[in-house]
Amino acid sequence: MNKLWAGRYEQETAKLADDFNSSIGFDSRMFREDITGSMAHAAMLGAKGIITQDEAAQLIDGLQGILEDLQSGALAIDPGAEDIHMFVEQVLTSRLGDVGKKLHTARSRNDQVALDFRLYLRGEIDELTEATKALVRVLTDKAEAYKAAIMPGYTHLQRAQPITFGHQLMAYVFMLLRDLGRLSDCRRRLNVSPIGCCALAGTTYDTDREMEAKALGFDGVCLNSIDGVSDRDFAVELCAAACTEMMHLSRLAEELILWSSWEFQFIELPDAYTTGSSIMPQKKNPDMAELVRGKTGRVYGDLMGILTVLKGLPLAYNKDMQEDKEGVFDAVDTLKSCLHVMAGMLPGMKARTDKMRKAALEGFINATDLADYLVDKGLPFRSAYKISGNLVAACIRSGNTLESLSLEDYRAASPLIGEDVYKAIDLDACVKRRTSLGGTAVPSVEKQITAARGELMKL
């Protein structure tokens, strides 16, 4: 294809330089946004009398035809084109002649690419939002199903206190709800139009930027033309939001991996989302969860990539900014695929509630409840804590649990302890008493579920 900018040049661009300079290999995914943006631009040019209404109509019809041909496969994107913007304009000009050459009036590729990027990522944020909501629904449903299933809660990966599996799953629900908030914030700041900023200084034509912005669903326009073409904060912010959400998915994936291991046996993942071994027939590997955990690193790298590209750039546009897209596209694609996999896998996850309860019975996770029992009898907490700790140590030496310790042993530790101690340290009672807001008691988990579902309806 002939270069649209070739007028000033006497030499052809070297093939190696052409290939190095080209972005069609990755920005072609924005063809819909490029054409939609150009249709709004043509309509504005016609409305303002910069071109005739008939010319505007020809441009819009021509662009619509290109869009339909690309979507149907009747037209293929030329991999030899420099970028998607030039490809569309050159096809338009080949079909309409001189009228096609009028489309680029009062704009530059600098504001055009910024517009396409914003439009594309806005759509991707909407898809990520829906995928995140779907995963929230799955986790909330699972939490409701297992709201009374007792398991050990952990700190330092050591059994700590009794909780329910539903309570544990709701922790991830609230992480993902915050992720939805970050995506919403990012979309709001992204949703301002740069079109009309032109190369960097605006234009001498009497344009109507607000008209174009409204037609394309933007909330407003960039108020500084230099900032409009050089701003990529929205891409950085989306990558950062993706990193945070991937971190949450990775933490969930890590727990699924642990819980499904033979050492825990708390859950069983569905066959459709696990793999076997080529040599060990007994294996059931949680590969999908492991890949989610592993892919988190590449999204972190995508964020660091765009931050590094932007950190030393003088205003306004620089060719370095062509490097803004591949990393962001990768971050979005990766997060989206991980969300879909998680939402597909978790409905078939089965909890081994017997194994969870057995583990809860073996880890002295009711030791805090024993201390609280003594506090209710009048002891200061620190004194009660020490007595409870001494009793745990005695149990470890003798091979007992707190439940199997004799009343005589309890009374030897403190005369305040009576027969009601066994009721106080019963696992079900321990969970039932944790009724504080956000706690693990079933009514509290039910409130969390109701709150999460209500929040989801607002988003």
Which residue in 330, 256, 326 sits closest to 293, CA to CA? 256
The string of pLDDT tens digits covering residues 239-265 is 999 999 999 999 999 999 999 999 999
Report domain extents, the chain.
15-105, 110-142+151-157+164-358, 362-441
The pLDDT confidence band at residue 368, using thresholds 50, 70 and 90, is: very high
Which residue in 179, 199, 304, 186 sits closest to 247, CA to CA? 179
Regarding the domain delimited by 362-441, which CATH topology (the fold level of the hierarchy) does it fall under?
A: Ribonucleotide Reductase Protein R1; domain 1 (1.10.40)
**Whether 277 is catalytic:** yes
Q: For the domain 15-105, what is the CATH superfamily, name and number?
A: Fumarase/aspartase (N-terminal domain) (1.10.275.10)
Q: DSSP letter for 223, please.
A: S
Helix, strand or coil for residue 197? Answer: coil
Region 110-142+151-157+164-358: CATH code:
1.20.200.10
Q: Which of 72, 156, 406, 436 is catalytic?
A: 156
pLDDT (mean) for 354-361: 95
Q: Would the pLDDT of 280 be above 70?
A: yes
148 cis-preceded (ω within 30 degrees of 0): no
pTM of the predicted model, to two decimals? 0.93
What six digits make up the tokens of 423?
A: 């009721």
The string of pLDDT tens digits covering residues 185-233 is 999 999 999 999 999 999 999 999 999 999 999 999 999 999 999 999 9
- State residue 277's pLDDT score: 84
CA distance 309 to 55: 40
Catalogue the long-range contacts made by 168-173 (C-beta closer than 8 Å, 24 or more residues apart): 168/255, 169/139, 169/142, 169/143, 170/139, 170/140, 170/143, 170/445, 170/448, 170/449, 170/452, 172/139, 172/248, 172/251, 172/252, 173/136, 173/139, 173/140, 173/143, 173/448, 173/452
pLDDT (mean) for 264-289: 93
- State residue 10's pLDDT score: 60
- State residue 208's pLDDT score: 98
b/e per residue, 70-107, with b = 16+ CB within 10 A? beeeebebeeebbbbbbbbbbbbbebbeebbebbbebb
Q: Would the pLDDT of 3 be above 70?
A: no
Q: Which of 277, 340, 398, 404 is catalytic?
A: 277
Q: Would the pLDDT of 15 be above 90?
A: no
